[in-house]
Chain A
Amino acid sequence: MKTTKSGYRRPASLTKAPMHYCAGCGHSTAHKLLAEVLDELEISERTIGVAPVGCAVLAYFYLKCDIAEAAHGRTPAVATGIKRALPDRIVFSYQGDGDLAAIGLAETIHAANRGEQITVVFINNTVYGMTGGQMAPTTLVGQVTATSPSGRESATMGGPLRMCELLNTLDQPYYIERVALDSHAGVLATKKALRTAFQAQVEGRGYSFVEILSACPTYFHRSPLESLKFVGGEMAKQFPVRIFRKEGVALHA
């Protein structure tokens, strides 16, 4: 790690490339934390990531490990293929809510249900960032997006999918946690969750899933600061932040 003048330390697994994410975007923080965990567990040289189609499609510019790019939503299936071919490598997918919970929901559920030995990092920002702020499966009821111009209405558009809760009904997953990038404490908790998830894979324990509630100021149509409040407030109310499964055992709220 190198310390810059401001005291910020860039993890070795993070490249120097300036990130293209908008100001206040949760992807930037999530990338840094992920890189720190790869450093701390000393696994970056045997890790293969699978980038989604979404704003994080360019993750290979930022993370210093091997990265493949999957077709939209097929991310966990690609990760499955890699892990089955190279079982001693560390394999993760990094996905947005559109990629993971809409077009790739089947792949998400079946990879979890098979207990694939992979880590899924799920960035839930309630919108499709890359395509211009359309409704996502996790969009809150009433939230206005490009394709729910009068606000999401559950009677015809469904309600927000709670992915941790859904996956927690399956037998195979080993570790499931939801965290929020809404504050300093949230950042620390996110780092800890990622570390636990990757540690589980290093030890060959099974499937691990970390959902990160994350800001998209651009399509929340709020300032970065207001966006953090939205993440910790309305979003966390809909998506409770907690550990759902630990060491293969479902924890009930």
Chain B
Amino acid sequence: MKGAVTVESKRVLMTGNEAAAEAAIRAGCQCYFGYPITPQNELIAYMAKHMPAHGRVFIQAESELAAISMVFGASLAGARAMTSSSSPGISLKQEGISYLAGCQLPAVIINVQRGGPGLGNIDPAQGDYFQATKGGGHGDYHIIVLAPASVQEMHDMTFQAFDLADQYRIPVMILADGRVGQMMEPIRLQEGPAPIPPAKPWALTGAKGRAPQCIRSLFLEEGALEKHNLALQECYRRIAAADTKLEETHTADCEWLIAAWGTCGRIGKGAVQKARAQGIKAGLIRPLTLWPFPYERLARLGAQVKALLVVEMNCGQMLEDVRLAVNGATPVHFSGYPGGRVPTVSDVFNALTALVRQ
């Protein structure tokens, strides 16, 4: 691995982008298609170097529209497939993601977010929460969205994403940001043989010895689309019941709760520690899955605490889900950083103590 320094006890120093790429290779990703964009360029460069060395497929596509369509093709042929990009490129992929969702095809998509809208800037941001969790493309669908806060999570979540995608036949997105992508931390790599994907009898592999089959998202027959959409919703309910994941810090007795995801979640934890050291009963909830969202747990915590503080690098996106969950039981406050600036521990701590003093 270039740029990686192997150390004792198998810790390896890598960037988040490289850690995600290496996880995909270890998870048995057979095909990767991408198009350069900052701040995820290390990921595509890593794949360019290592996928061919493993005898796997790497293509630098002519655009993100093409890259996601190549993923669509590889996935419907039964392969584990992935693409990665950053916000403007992810917008272009929305068409393909909608088709993947409509056809119930597994795929892994990494979004190393940068500032928007439009070209925005290339600094870390969390402005794509709505896009990722509320559908993004056209139609009535969801994808699983995982939010890493460290290089280790970038690695582990990408690894798990392939299994989740295959298990539920659904696209899974890793919603990271430029900070997590560019940062280096020592991590433990996923070891052991690559997981064996489930059988994919639905894949189009040629109709030898079986009736021809079709993968499609067009349902013109009367009632067929309704039936299809209800089946998708049933699948989403199963995912929400079994695979809603979150991290809690000091929530058992907390009176002041910070809710934050990804990079902000990590910084929020620092603020909670600082508050606890000063005797403030602060706690943190960090959703690891943004979809499905931990509505129920938040509702219960909302009933317990005096106030909630949502911290995001945007103008208030997860904020809406938190409000929905808490449903007026307690005041929900917001601290937002929408221009590429990453809040510091003191920023969050100060916002929290302002609430406590109120």
Contacts and interface: CB of A to CB of B under 8 A. Distances in A.
**Direct contact, A vs B (beta carbon within 8 Å):** yes
Interface of A: 53, 57, 69, 71-73, 98, 102-103, 105, 128, 130-132, 134-135, 137, 146-150, 156-157
Contacts of B36: 98, 128, 131-132, 134, 146-147
A25 B275 CA distance: 52
B304 interface: no
Contact of B38 (A131, A148, A149, A150): A131
A137 B128 CA distance: 30
Interface in B11-65: 35-38, 41, 44-45, 48-49, 52, 59-60, 62-65
Of A57, A103, A105, A135, most B-chain CB atoms within 10 Å: A103
B119 A53 contact: yes
Contacts of B64: 103
B127 interface: no
Interface residues of B, number: 19
Contact of B44 (A71, A130, A147): A147
B88 interface: yes
Contact of A102 (B37, B59, B63): B63
Contact of B48 (A73, A131, A132, A149): A149
Nearest to B49: A149
B66 to A, nearest CB: 8
29 contacts: A71-B88, A71-B119, A72-B88, A102-B35, A103-B35, A103-B64, A103-B65, A105-B62, A130-B38, A131-B38, A131-B41, A132-B36, A132-B41, A134-B36, A134-B41, A134-B44, A134-B45, A134-B60, A135-B60, A137-B62, A146-B41, A146-B48, A147-B44, A148-B48, A148-B60, A149-B45, A150-B52, A156-B59, A157-B60
Contacts of A149: 45, 48-49
Enumerate the 8 nearest inter-chain pairs by beta-carbon distance, A residue then B residue, closest first: A103-B63, A131-B36, A147-B48, A134-B36, A102-B62, A146-B45, A147-B60, A149-B49
Contacts of B63: 73, 102-103
Given A103-B62, A131-B36, 17 more contacts: A71-B88, A71-B118, A73-B63, A102-B35, A102-B62, A102-B63, A103-B65, A132-B36, A132-B41, A134-B36, A134-B45, A135-B60, A147-B36, A147-B45, A148-B60, A149-B49, A156-B59
A128 B52 CA distance: 21
A210 to B, nearest CB: 22
Contacts of B44: 134, 147
A147 B41 CA distance: 9
A149 B88 CA distance: 26
A156 B65 CA distance: 19
Interface string B278-300: 00000000000000000000000
A128 B42 CA distance: 14
B119 A57 contact: yes
Interface string B224-247: 000000000000000000000000
Interface string B51-95: 010000001101111000000000000000000000010000000
Nearest to A128: B36
Nearest to A137: B62
Nearest to A103: B63
Interface in B263-283: none
Nearest to B62: A102
A175 B44 CA distance: 37
Contacts of A102: 35, 62-63
A98 B35 CA distance: 10
Nearest to A102: B62
A69 B88 CA distance: 14
B123 to A, nearest CB: 15
Contacts of B38: 130-132
Contacts of A147: 36, 44-45, 48, 60
A156 B45 CA distance: 16
Nearest to B65: A103
Contacts of A130: 38
A135 B62 CA distance: 10
A91 B64 CA distance: 27
A139 to B, nearest CB: 10
Nearest to A147: B48
Contact of A131 (B37, B59, B62): B37
Contacts of B62: 102-103, 105, 137
A57 B52 CA distance: 33
B178 to A, nearest CB: 13
B96 to A, nearest CB: 14
Contacts of B48: 146-149
B90 to A, nearest CB: 13
A91 B67 CA distance: 31
A148 B88 CA distance: 23
A102 B59 CA distance: 13
Contacts of A134: 36, 41, 44-45, 60
Nearest to A153: B52
A128 B62 CA distance: 12
Of B48, B52, B59, B64, most A-chain CB atoms within 10 Å: B48
A164 to B, nearest CB: 19
A109 to B, nearest CB: 12
B30 to A, nearest CB: 15
A185 B156 CA distance: 57
Of A69, A130, A149, most B-chain CB atoms within 10 Å: A149
